[in-house]
Amino acid sequence: MEETAVPTKTSRATRFKESLVSLPHSIDEQLPTMDKSLDRYFDAHMSAIISEWRLITTHTLDELDDRLDRVATEIRNLEKGRSEIEKRVAALDAGIRELEVGR
């Protein structure tokens, strides 16, 4: 004789609880929402939005950071050269004064 499994009260309650857990996920998948529509719109038009609004991207920030590093290095090099030039100017001034006095 074959036994048929009769769902017990506990197994029915467990299946019901499991169906409740998955309910928000299934509702979210089936209902259109404003967020989903906006996400799709932004995904499709992001480059145009960035261009039109002149938004800065991570790539642009990285380029600006590199450029700032190069400019800062150039400024340091010019400042080093400035002190050399000031020394040369002082030496030339001293030489000119000697020539003027010697006249």
pLDDT tens digits, one per residue of 49-72: 989 998 889 999 999 999 999 999
Residue 37 tokens read as: 């529509």
CA distance 92 to 99: 11
CA distance 62 to 68: 10
Cβ proximity of 55 and 49 under 8 Å = yes
Q: What is the pTM of this model?
A: 0.43
Residue appearing with tokens 């020394």 = 87
pLDDT tens digits, one per residue of 70-103: 999 999 999 989 988 999 999 999 999 999 887 6
Nearest to 53 by CA among 45, 61, 65, 62: 45
